[in-house]
A = this chain, B = another copy of it.
């Protein structure tokens, strides 16, 4: 077997930083491929190919309008990532630090 395909789930799809950028560039607005090319400064096939990956995972959808295609982000598809990582935050949050570390910092501040 090999590595899990990028189109398998949101985790793998957004592991590529360019695809995160793409989602950010889309934000809440529908955009044309050309507009994304202009915005990001990438070669057009690169934009199309990354969009294709995002589309397979459902992170974007496409609507045709004449010769253009309008892409829209569906960020709710990131929920699995959200749901996985958020509960783990408590492990690095101050409220769960070891008591002695907290006390040590308080002492420093008192000096």
A→B interface (CB under 8 Å): 3-4, 6, 11-12, 14-17, 20, 23, 28, 73, 75-76, 78-79, 81-82, 84-86, 88-89, 91-92
Chain B residues with Cβ below 8 Å from A6 are 3
Q: Is the interface of A mostly helix, strand, loop or mixed?
A: helix
Known contacts A11-B15, A73-B91; 14 further A-B pairs (Cβ under 8 A)? A3-B6, A4-B16, A4-B17, A11-B17, A15-B15, A20-B84, A23-B88, A76-B92, A78-B85, A78-B92, A79-B92, A82-B86, A85-B85, A86-B86
Q: How far apart are A76's CB and chain B's nearest CB, in angstroms? A: 3
In Å, the complex CA distance between A76 and B85 comes to: 10
